Structure 1
Amino acid sequence: MEELTGMNSKWASTLMSQHLLAAADRYGLDRLRLLCEANLCEDVAINTVATTLALAEQHHCFQLKSVCLKFVALPENLRAVMQTDGFEYLKESCPHVLTELLEYVARISEHSIAIGKQGNEGIMDGSDVNGRRVKQRL
């Protein structure tokens, strides 16, 4: 695959799955569409996630979209993804997805702040990370 495409095999496999997903959706091949979606969910990477996210939005692949949003929203991934050409494509083709991404990042930030605040207090008052009272095992 690397010799034929000039790309590493993982990137080439992702590219092929993206094209197959679009074709499967266009021609109503539901099983192939699901297989491609599952394959793309497993091979999320910095250099392909933005185009995969745009594809998931355009072809209504909700599981794939969720996986991509979770991956991009991680602080260590977000900056790198924003520097890819795929992110520029995502901004042009699906600008409303950026709003969803910002909302997702905000939820993650709020959740991590809440856990950080409760982390020390939870140990002191016997509650878990969700603020529920728990009985300690002896």
Structure 2
Amino acid sequence: MRSPVFKAEFYGPMRETGTPLITIKDMQPDVFKALLHFIYTDSLQTIDDPEGNSRAEMVQHLLVAADRYDLEKLKLVCERILWENLDVQNVATMLALADQHHCDILNDACIEFISSQKIMDAVAATQGYVDLKRSGPSILVDAQLKIMRRLYKTLVSG
């Protein structure tokens, strides 16, 4: 099995209780469908969301599901897609998502995006930044420290 979490649910103590069904809570059906597709095919299907969410929102939900079910390869695929679609409007939200789900690659990409683009003022004007400032100020402090370290290394080596 690709997911140790599913393996534990199907073959662990739950199986011995005689529970024939496993209920998946807090996940949209289309996200679960994409998750299962990845588990069975080791590939990401074309992501269409009939509920009207953007492709990026669907990938965010899929990343959360991949983290929940310990599917590291799917998590990396989602990180890469989100990284490739970073912009001023979503970078603060992606930074929070990366922090919550221990996505080091996405976290580094967000910090690189902010520091290399010199767009902190534009990012700070977004709703995602306002939300992150309120709900996760330590994430912003960590990001600012990383940006300052990068700038210092650039100054010292240049």
Note the residue ranges of structure 1 that are not aligned, 5 or more in a row. Answer: 116-128, 130-138
1:29 corresponds to which residue? 71
1:71 corresponds to which residue? 113
SS in 2 for 1:46: coil
For normalisation by structure 2, the TM-score amounts to 0.60
Note the residue ranges of structure 2 that are not aligned, 5 or more in a row. Answer: 1-47
1:72-124 deviation per Cα after TM superposition (whole angstroms, max 9, x unaligned): 12353211110001011212332111112221232243345446xxxxxxxxx
Find the aligned partners of 2:134 and 2:69 in 1 and give their Cα distance: 25
Amino acid at match of 2:83: C
Find the aligned partners of 2:154 and 2:66 in 1 and give their Cα distance: 39
User: Is the Cα–Cα contact under 8 Å of residues 47 and 86 in structure 1 kept in the other structure?
Assistant: yes
SS in 1 for 2:151: helix
Find the aligned partners of 1:105 and 1:34 in 2 and give their Cα distance: 23
Cα-Cα RMSD:
2.5
Find the aligned partners of 2:131 and 2:76 in 1 and give their Cα distance: 24
Alignment of 1:50-129 (within 5 A): 50-74=92-116, 76-114=118-156, 129=158
Find the aligned partners of 2:75 and 2:153 in 1 and give their Cα distance: 33
1:34-88 deviation per Cα after TM superposition (whole angstroms, max 9, x unaligned): 2111111211111111111100000000011000011112353211110001011
SS in 1 for 2:118: helix
Find the aligned partners of 2:51 and 2:109 in 1 and give their Cα distance: 29
**Which protein has the bigger helix share?**
1
For normalisation by structure 1, the TM-score amounts to 0.68
Q: How many residue pairs are counted as aligned between the two chains?
A: 111
Find the aligned partners of 1:79 and 1:21 in 2 and give their Cα distance: 28
Q: Percent identity?
A: 37
Find the aligned partners of 1:56 and 1:31 in 2 and give their Cα distance: 15
